[in-house]
Structures are given as structure tokens and as C-alpha cells.
């Protein structure tokens, strides 16, 4: 597995990481614990060294799963987790990035992850009630105490990134980015490039849509997050099929799968981009990891992007109340 550095930091990880959320949360029922452990360990065996989780996934169960799965390999892998939500009675209940809360979350996450240090600690969503300087300062303290190695932000706006970076250098920004959601190219990616910050795209396969395994007739489990995403209404899926058809056609030319093209596109964009596709299936994991071998030339990128830009994507990527929490 090829490796890359996140920005100017010394955090070097596999060119593709594993987003672990879907093993416990978000996309239907949680997988069996042993199945989840087996999948994470299969990723390690295949060279993945970068694993993404968060306290709110479950809540708590995903961190416990990741901690148990990676315990035998802890020195060989980097674990990213997140703080920033208030959790009450096992449910997400608003934001909380107060410094004292960040410290409490770090201590609890360390126990669940069975480790003495968090490699990358992200603020999960920007909390407009707490100055980002205070948030960065709290993580800086944890870094000085040896409990955290690197500071990250998730779905933050460019101004917030700059303000945080002045207090404690930001190693990585995690946000949605794919051939289906290219908004970060406008302001975020130039800011990251200027400041030397790595980019970790989540949902690099468009929450599964870009794999060509979903169509207008697909029925999601009642607990699947996609049921409330406007972009995933049956009508919008039908309209957005044109994006998938384009990727499918391109994949045939490259003797690759649509998922591999979507991931190879991200990897080719910048040397400091590390996508974190998630899956619950071993054959999908193997398919995703083979994307590092798919070579896309500058001309390939241009042709793919010009064609994709002609297709207007239908539907918002979040329901309105969640959309308010991003880009702050």
C-alpha cells in the first residue's frame, strides 16, 4: 500500500484509510462485533494504517470496536477520532466543544480505543458558542500532555481553519468530497494547500452512490441515514444516475470499477488527500484498496471533470438542520 503525508505534518498514513462509522452506525443495523473486528483486521493485513471513528458513532460502540480490533497492531496504525457533540441518554443532543468537555471526551475515548494516545483528534462540527481559538487551545494542551498527536477539523469553513491554525497547527481537515460533491474546490482546497494542511475526504463514494450499486429502486433499511438525505430521494437518485453512468463508462475504458475510478480521481487530485471509504464487506474493501493502482493522467482528470461538470446534481447533501452545522 502506498503511503502519503497529511499536509506538512509528520503524520504519514496509507493512501486510502478506512472509515469505520458504517460498521456501527448510520447505514442500517450495526454489523456483528466479530465481523467488524475481522473487517478492520483484514484492512490492516492489506496495508491500511489509517482508521477513522468518533465517540458519537453508536454512540461509543464504534470506538470500542475499533479499539479492540486494532489493539494487537496499535503501534503500526493511526487512529482518528472526534469530539464536539453533547451525548445524552445514548443520543446526539447538540454541540459541545467547551474545553473542559474536550478533555473529558479525550479521556473517555482513550479508554474505549485501548490506547494512551489519539493520533488525530478532530472537532466533529464547529460549535458557534465556543471560539475556535479556545477549541484549538484545548487540543494544544492535550498534545503537550502527550494524549493527542495531531489536531483536525471536520466540515469547517476556511476562516475557521485559519483561526484555529494560528493557535495549534491543523494537520487535517475532514469533509465530504467526491465527484458528486466538489464544493471544497472553491475555497477549502486552496486554503489547505496554502497552509499545508492535509485533506481527508469522507463519503468519497458518494455514500455508496458512485459504486453503481444503488439506483432509484433501492430500498434502504429504516435506520439508514440516507432516508433523510434529499439527494437520496428516489426521484433525485433517478436524476443523478447520469453521474454514475459517466463514471461507469470511464471505468470500462480503464478496466476498473466505478468505485476505483471515484477513489483514484481523489488520490490523483493532490498528494496530501487521503480518502476514507467505509464498507462492511471484505470484497468491497479489497476493491477500494486496489484504486491506488489505477493511474489517471492529467488528461483523464480533465475529461472526467469536464463531463461531470455538465451534469447538475439534484438534491442537497444534508437535510436542512444538518446543513446548518457545516462550513462554519
Give the separation between CA 191 and CA 184, rounded to whole angstroms. Answer: 10
Bridge partners, residue 91, by sequence = 88
Catalytic residue among 57, 122, 177, 318: 57
Contacts 24+ apart (CB under 8 A), 215-221: 215/241, 216/241, 220/28, 221/27, 221/28, 221/29
Strand order in the sheet with 78-83: 18-19, 50-52, 78-83, 118-123, 148-154, 170-176, 198-202
Active site residue 57: yes
Q: Is the separation of the CB atoms in 279 and 21 below 8 Å?
A: no
Grid look-up 442500517 returns 28
Residues involved in catalysis: 57
Amino acid at each position: 500500500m502506498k503511503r502519503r503525508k497529511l499536509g506538512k505534518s509528520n503524520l504519514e498514513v496509507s493512501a486510502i484509510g478506512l472509515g469505520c462509522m458504517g460498521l456501527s452506525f448510520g447505514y442500517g443495523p450495526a454489523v456483528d462485533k466479530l465481523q467488524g473486528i475481522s473487517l478492520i483486521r483484514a484492512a490492516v493485513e492489506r496495508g491500511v494504517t489509517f482508521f477513522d471513528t468518533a465517540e458519537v458513532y453508536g454512540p461509543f460502540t464504534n470506538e470500542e470496536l475499533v479499539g479492540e480490533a486494532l489493539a494487537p497492531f496499535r503501534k503500526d496504525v493511526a487512529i482518528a477520532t472526534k469530539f464536539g457533540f453533547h451525548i445524552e441518554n445514548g443520543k446526539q443532543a447538540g454541540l459541545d466543544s467547551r474545553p473542559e468537555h474536550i478533555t473529558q471526551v479525550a479521556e473517555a475515548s482513550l479508554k474505549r480505543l485501548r490506547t494512551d494516545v489519539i493520533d488525530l483528534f478532530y472537532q466533529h462540527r464547529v460549535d458557534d458558542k465556543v471560539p475556535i481559538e479556545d477549541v484549538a487551545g484545548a487540543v494544544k494542551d492535550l498534545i503537550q500532555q502527550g494524549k493527542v498527536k495531531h489536531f483536525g477539523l471536520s466540515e469547517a469553513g476556511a476562516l475557521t481553519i485559519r483561526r484555529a491554525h494560528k493557535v495549534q497547527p491543523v494537520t487535517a481537515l475532514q469533509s465530504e468530497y467526491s465527484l458528486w460533491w466538489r464544493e471544497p474546490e472553491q475555497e477549502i482546497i486552496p486554503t489547505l494547500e496554502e497552509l499545508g494542511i492535509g485533506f481527508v475526504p469522507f463519503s468519497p463514494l458518494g455514500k455508496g452512490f458512485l459504486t453503481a450499486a444503488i439506483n432509484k429502486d433501492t430500498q434502504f433499511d429504516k435506520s439508514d441515514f440516507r432516508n433523510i438525505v434529499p439527494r437520496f430521494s428516489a426521484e433525485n437518485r433517478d436524476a443523478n444516475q447520469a453521474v454514475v453512468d459517466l463514471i461507469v463508462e470511464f471505468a470500462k475504458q480503464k478496466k476498473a470499477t466505478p468505485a476505483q475510478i471515484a477513489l483514484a480521481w481523489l488520490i490523483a487530485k493532490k498528494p496530501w488527500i487521503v480518502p476514507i471509504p467505509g464498507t462492511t464487506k471484505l470484497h468491497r474493501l479489497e476493491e477500494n484498496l486496489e484504486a491506488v493502482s489505477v493511474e489517471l493522467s492529467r488528461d483523464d482528470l480533465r475529461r472526467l471533470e469536464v463531463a461531470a461538470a455538465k451534469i447538475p446534481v439534484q438534491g442537497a447533501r444534508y437535510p436542512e438542520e444538518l446543513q446548518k452545522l457545516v462550513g462554519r
